[in-house]
Amino acid sequence: MRIIFFNSKPYDKIYFETYCAKEGFETVFVEEKLNETTVKLAQGFQAVCIFVNDNANARVIGTLAGFGVKLMLLRCTGYNNVDVKAAHKKIHVTRVPAYSPESIAEHSLALLMSVNRKIHRAYTRTRDYNFNINGFVSGNLSGKTAGVIGTGKIGQAMIKILDGIGMKVLAYDKYPNDKLTVDYVPLDKLFEKADMISIHCPLTPETKHMINAESIAKMKDGVIIINTSRGAIMDTAAAIEGLDSKKIGGLGLDVYEEEENYFYEDLSEEIIEDKELMRLLSYHNVLLTSHQAFLTHEALQTIAADTVKSVKQYKKGEFIENAVCYLCEDRDKCDKKEKRINCF
């Protein structure tokens, strides 16, 4: 089995080389993102491993299938960047559904704490030997109301953390989990009541621009919004308007709607052409990190282990438990092995 890793970084190699070597899999790591231009690099490989900002559209899928690629391995949870319909009966698409929910939730908390207490501004100020604390007055989180959108494993980890620091938690999910002891409310009520909102849902046609001008207008004045999910869940232009009007009191973002052109790269010597990105970075109450919420040793180890497990299951002709099934109505939670196998 030969596997090519697109969009790879040094931290990807640490665990993947180890796990793949144990199984005798040959690995090649390239820095290029997968797209219609770079797909030619996959010739001669049976599997490709990609990340959040690679583009596996229908044309790319068709080219890969023509090369004889049988597996597309996503080393992440979301698969909105893959045309799973085009891959149906051509290429098995797998993902890592839960590599470390705590890593994402803890980063979300770090963003919330930093934005609320202005830690990022204090760090910059003291680095310049300016120890003035004027402008750093904030409020307690304890006793405030948090809104959590999406109560999968990451959302559940976030709820546990927020409950632990004394916040009242309201939750919204299209499919509520009746095993959770959390107060589920309609989305509009969450927008209306929450002092801070943390987003942990996947990007789908339904959730795209869920945070928009209309929803922001329903929120409390000075609301803090945290997004460690997918950038396109938030309408950037609407968020900028909310910041300008002071409706939004702070943004903590680990994702950005057009991040594929910028994130994971050193562009410190470049001129950034994205005006909305530059506008976001100009606000003192916005903290932006470069899609790094997953970046813990525990998460990287699980990502490598689960990805290699999918390859092993494919090679043995076994049920691939982390496969993405196009035909299933709820393909994230498909547990019908025969139905999943018959999809390919």
Residues with catalytic roles: 230, 259, 291
* Helix or strand (DSSP H, E) at 305: helix 297-315
Give the 3-state secondary structure of residue 115. Answer: helix
Spell out the residues 6+ positions from residue 66 whose beta carbon is closer than 8 angstroms to its own: none
Neighbours of 138 (CB within 10 A): 13
In 3-state terms, the chain is what percent helix, strand and coil (to 5)? 40, 15, 45
What's the N-to-C CA distance of the chain in angstroms? 19
Distance from C-alpha of 329 to C-alpha of 335, rounded to nearest angstrom: 12
> By C-alpha distance, which of 315, 329, 330, 320 is closest to 93?
320
Torsions phi, psi for 155 (to 5 deg): -60, -40
Distance from C-alpha of 95 to C-alpha of 174, rounded to nearest angstrom: 22
